[in-house]
Amino acid sequence: MRTSLPHRGSWVENMRSSYLVCYDIADDKRLRQVFKIMRGFGDHLQFSVFECQFTAADLARCRAQLAAVIHHTEDQVLFVNLGPAEGRGDRVITALGKPYTAIDSPCIVV
C-alpha cells in the first residue's frame, strides 16, 4: 500500500507544538535583540525563557531570525519541544525558591 505525504497547507503542516525557548547571550546588545525577536513568537515566562507554540514554519522562521543575531561561539539558544500544543490543558508552573509570577506588563531589557 502506498501512502502519500500530506500536501502543503495540511493539518500536519499547521499543527502547533509547544516549546520552551531558553537563551544565554553573552552581549547586552544581542540580548536585547534576541528578547525583541522572542516577544514576537511567544510568552515571556522568566528572564531569558519563553513559551512558544510553533508550527514547523514558525519554528524555522524563529531559528533563522535568531541565527542572524547571535554569536554562534559565544551565545546559546535552546529549543525544548514539549509536544503538541492541542490537548495539553492549562499551563501549570510551579517554582522552588522565589514564587513564579506571570509577566503581563512589557518587560524592558536594558
Residues 74-90, buried b or exposed e (16+ Cβ, 10 A)?
Answer: ebebebeeeeebeeeee
Residue 13 has what pLDDT? 65
Q: How many CB atoms lie within 10 A of CB 105?
A: 6
Identify the DSSP state of 74. Answer: T
Determine whether 93 is exposed, middle or buried from the number of CB atoms within 10 Å of its CB (0-12, 13-18, 19+). Answer: exposed
Chunked into runs of 10 residues, the chain (110 residues) has average pLDDT values of 50 81 96 97 94 95 96 93 80 69 58
* Separation CA 80–CA 73 (nearest Å): 20
